[in-house]
Structure 1
Amino acid sequence: MGFNVRPVFVVGKAWPVLPQPDGALQVIIEKETADSTIETFNAQLKERLGSDVTILEPTVLREDADITKLKESAHEVDALLVHVMGLMPLGKLLDLELPLIAFSGKHTPMMGLYAFPIEERESHPNLTYALDFKEINDQIHLLSVAKRLKNTRIALIGGPLSLGGHQQHIPDSEIIKHKLGIDIVPVSGKEFVAEMKGIEESKVATIAQEWIANAQEASEPSTDEIKEVARTYVAIENVLKKIEAQATAIGCLELMYLHGITPHCFALATLRDEGVPASCESDVSALLTMLILGYLSDKPTYMGNIVRADPEKNIVMISHGCTPSKMAGLNQPSHPYKLVHSYSGRFIEGTGLTSFVDLDKGQEVTIARIARNLDRICVTSGEIIDCRDTLCDRTTLDIHVNDARKFFHNAPGNHHVVVYGNYIPELGKLSQLLGMKLIES
């Protein structure tokens, strides 16, 4: 999804001023000099902004009428990058309510601060400042994440079972729409089972063989079990396509216990590796966290239970199935994986299909979860110190964190989401943009 940025050059009626690196002020008298500055800046934008950013035709503001003209094309703009060279009243520009990034030259904020005093920043949350191209890029990236969220639709397939509090996973859909712009589309378990019945056997067999061929080992599950999970995977894909959804929360407990569907953790892991965030146990809160971390990082994420929080060693253990093999990035090579049984359907013996992926020891990670009412994101960073194949969940991570006790007491739920890399600074800025608090452990 592209992001449209319109450069806006504030020239005004008086002579523009360009602060220099040595602190001097260059007063621009000749129009040609101003035009050259604008041309140079536009060329730099094209070189330094991300490939998914479209730079629209620039607008030069000299009087109020120019802002009126700018308003006419506001519908095609995602953000305004306002390069302040001169001064003029800009209240009407702020009233457009578009995201506005103020800039007045690399490391020279004077003109931007004149044009947009601190009072304006406090009363207009759509206004931010940038000191250099890195900050411009960073802010555009955050705005593009917010745009992607607003254009995301979630398929809620099945629902939670009443097994002691699983309703905590599902925030109010109106709150989700208001805060993030995301739509939730429910698909009943019966509808999903009907979808599974119409899938071609040849397609199921082809996918199953691909999974087996790409696996490091596949000794536990039978071919029939792998095929059944491939069938579930295709059914999920079909549902996503029909309702034009980009992510899914699966009521896997309902599907397994009430409809007899084979445990299908590997189907969700595969979707994640394909860039489709997918949570289990109907956990929409975890899915929203996956969406945010995934859109920030362009990486799939892992979610799991907090099975241990050791305050003496400051180790948190997170355990689950559905482990992506491309945790390093969607465009990076896959980690080797073993196809193994899940123990989530029957605890006495394994069944269905999940995977074990030996994730990288020494890797820095971010661990996060959004609270159910979407008022806060709770987060910490840590380092993976061990990754084990365990029962009943087949992947358990030992993560060394700064304060395991504080992490536990801040936790707004059980399932937490793990992504490679430290994204706490980005989450801090994005949480402000989305109207949430960042609670860091």
Structure 2
Amino acid sequence: MVLNLITFASTLHRQISIRSSHETVLTELEKYFTLNFIDYQDIGKVTSDDFCLLFIATGGVERLVIQHFESLPRPAILLADGMQNSLASALEISSWLRARGMKSEILHGELTEIVKRIFVMYNNFKAQRQISGSRIGVIGTPSSWLIASNVDYLLAKRRWDIEYVDIPLERVAEYANALSDDEVGEAAAKLAGEALACREASADDMLKAMKIYRAVKRIAEEERLSALTLSCFKLIELTGSTGCMALSLLNDEGIIAGCEGDLQSVFTMLVVKTLTGKGSFMANPSMINARTNEIVLAHCTVGLKQTEKFILRSHFETEQSIGIQGLLPTGDVTIVKCGGECLDEYYLTTGTLTENTNYINMCRTQVRVRLNSPADYFLKNPLGNHHILLHGNYETIFNEFFQVNACKRTE
């Protein structure tokens, strides 16, 4: 891993003395990274793909830094070991940058902790670069009841460098109708054979749902989508089939796919996949017990790879087509949601998945989670309806990522 050190040093110090003055910290860093020293005058040669620290090598460089304000990497990570008055200078610089809205942090102190922190920041940097340029397909339009889950396309582009792409729902129907039963029959039969049971779902339902999957996958490939969200209920009206199975299979294949045209939730799922490499479960909080801090999350689709077993059901609200009842493993989970019209807020908690429930009046996949934080967030200050669950405890990773990107945590 290359660590680019944009070096700021006063003209009063000779270059040869810079290395000797900071020998301890530089020698330690070289055990883990390949150091590439870049003179501040060459900062314009740095690209957005270069992971950089501002190496404050001496005091008296405050003016040099602010003269290059527009070219500084965001966030500004200042390395200062304290030698040659470097820490004093870094403190002044950091204060000036933060007063102008730039996220800034100073790396100083125990060398082992500095190294650990650099790795965390590098992982965040990689995640940001992966998300940058992502195309998120909006197939159809968001469900009319998602009144608090909208995203301003332009603001999201400015903040995250992502692009939401509107795609007509009719294109799904067109591609699905072009497929014959024979083209999808084998795959449908194989999936049915892997299920623990097939209840309300018929063979004809399976064939239609598999055609929807093939159609949506084709669109994802043609449009070069990193993620997509599907207007599920309008799809049922248009085709007589749900997207539940399609979204399940696409998530298993690494194509992030969300329900109901929820723009905020599909972005959250993209962040989850980028940071952890894992798929996630987008769901409704369907029951909340503020006294025991327990919630039941439910939806009619989940990636099959996230389950221990699954049952093919009908879609709950319409009692049509295919829904997925996934049985998820118990244990540690993380629940996260990035919200706001420009995706600048987030909710984050951990908990324990204690059981798979089977209420007859809820969506098919249902899990009960005992939270490690007050459940009354959902009653007093929720970021909309849908929230995202994944297995494992990733609170630190997500918190670091959203904080670096200047998002406000909602409790």
TM-score bracket relative to the smaller structure: 0.7 to 0.9
Residue 111 of structure 1: CA displacement?
6.1
Task: Give % identity.
Answer: 18
Separation of aligned partners in 2, 1:149 and 1:423: 18
Q: May I ask how many residue pairs the two structures share in their alignment?
A: 397
2:87 to 113, 128, 131: 113
Q: How does 1:310-329 map to 2 (within 5 A)?
A: 310-327=289-306
Match of 1:98 in 2: 73
Q: Which amino acid aligns with 1:7?
A: L
Deviates more, 1:219-228 or 1:410-419: 219-228
1:224 to 201, 204, 215: 204
**1:159-186 CA distances to partner (integer Å, 9 max, x unpaired)?**
2454xx2343332222322332221111
Separation of aligned partners in 2, 1:393 and 1:31: 63
1:128 aligns with 2:74: no
Report the CA distance shift for 1:196/1:4 in structure 2 as closer, same or farther (over 3 A).
Answer: farther
SS in 2 for 1:313: coil
SS in 2 for 1:245: coil
Residue 313 of structure 1: CA displacement?
2.0
Match of 1:6 in 2: 4
Q: How does 1:41-190 map to 2 (within 5 A)?
A: 41-45=29-33, 58-60=36-38, 66-71=39-44, 73-75=45-47, 77-87=49-59, 89=61, 90-91=64-65, 92-99=67-74, 100-104=76-80, 113-117=87-91, 118-123=94-99, 125-130=102-107, 131-162=113-144, 165-190=145-170
2:313 to 324, 331, 341: 341
Separation of aligned partners in 1, 2:323 and 2:374: 31
**1:309-367 CA distances to partner (integer Å, 9 max, x unpaired)?**
1122221111112222444xxxxxxx4332411233633xxx42233332222323224
Separation of aligned partners in 2, 1:382 and 1:109: 44
Residue 187 of structure 1: CA displacement?
1.0
Q: Does the CA-based 8 Å contact 1:369-1:413 persist in structure 2?
A: no
1:288 to 258, 263, 267: 267
Deviates more, 1:134-143 or 1:118-127: 118-127
Report the CA distance shift for 1:95/1:166 in structure 2 as closer, same or farther (over 3 A).
Answer: closer
**1:107-136 CA distances to partner (integer Å, 9 max, x unpaired)?**
x79965334224234236253233422111
Match of 2:369 in 1: 399
TM-score by length of 2: 0.84
Residue 87 of structure 1: CA displacement?
4.5
Report the CA distance shift for 1:30/1:101 in structure 2 as closer, same or farther (over 3 A).
Answer: closer
Separation of aligned partners in 1, 2:18 and 2:28: 16
Q: Does the CA-based 8 Å contact 1:256-1:345 persist in structure 2?
A: no
Q: Does the CA-based 8 Å contact 1:288-1:370 persist in structure 2?
A: no
SS in 2 for 1:254: helix
Separation of aligned partners in 2, 1:210 and 1:426: 37
Separation of aligned partners in 1, 2:358 and 2:18: 70
Separation of aligned partners in 2, 1:233 and 1:184: 21
Match of 1:233 in 2: 213
Separation of aligned partners in 1, 2:70 and 2:338: 34
CA-atom RMSD in angstroms? 3.3
Separation of aligned partners in 2, 1:122 and 1:147: 23
Separation of aligned partners in 1, 2:56 and 2:143: 56
Is there any run of 5+ residues in structure 2 with no aligned partner, and where?
Answer: 108-112
Report the CA distance shift for 1:293/1:109 in structure 2 as closer, same or farther (over 3 A).
Answer: farther
Separation of aligned partners in 2, 1:339 and 1:353: 10
Residue 138 of structure 1: CA displacement?
0.9
SS in 2 for 1:275: coil
Separation of aligned partners in 1, 2:85 and 2:190: 59
Separation of aligned partners in 1, 2:273 and 2:152: 22
Q: Which amino acid aligns with 1:397?
A: V
Report the CA distance shift for 1:42/1:354 in structure 2 as closer, same or farther (over 3 A).
Answer: farther
Report the CA distance shift for 1:172/1:82 in structure 2 as closer, same or farther (over 3 A).
Answer: closer
Residue 86 of structure 1: CA displacement?
4.1
Residue 158 of structure 1: CA displacement?
1.3
Q: Does the CA-based 8 Å contact 1:158-1:192 persist in structure 2?
A: no
Residue 219 of structure 1: CA displacement?
5.7
Report the CA distance shift for 1:431/1:386 in structure 2 as closer, same or farther (over 3 A).
Answer: same
Residue 288 of structure 1: CA displacement?
1.8
Residue 9 of structure 1: CA displacement?
4.7
**1:252-309 CA distances to partner (integer Å, 9 max, x unpaired)?**
100002x124123122122222222211111112112222233222211111111111
Residue 210 of structure 1: CA displacement?
4.2
Residue 94 of structure 1: CA displacement?
4.2
Report the CA distance shift for 1:408/1:296 in structure 2 as closer, same or farther (over 3 A).
Answer: farther
Match of 1:211 in 2: 191
Separation of aligned partners in 1, 2:346 and 2:24: 45
Separation of aligned partners in 1, 2:20 and 2:149: 60
1:366 aligns with 2:332: no
TM-score by length of 1: 0.78
Q: Does the CA-based 8 Å contact 1:263-1:344 persist in structure 2?
A: no
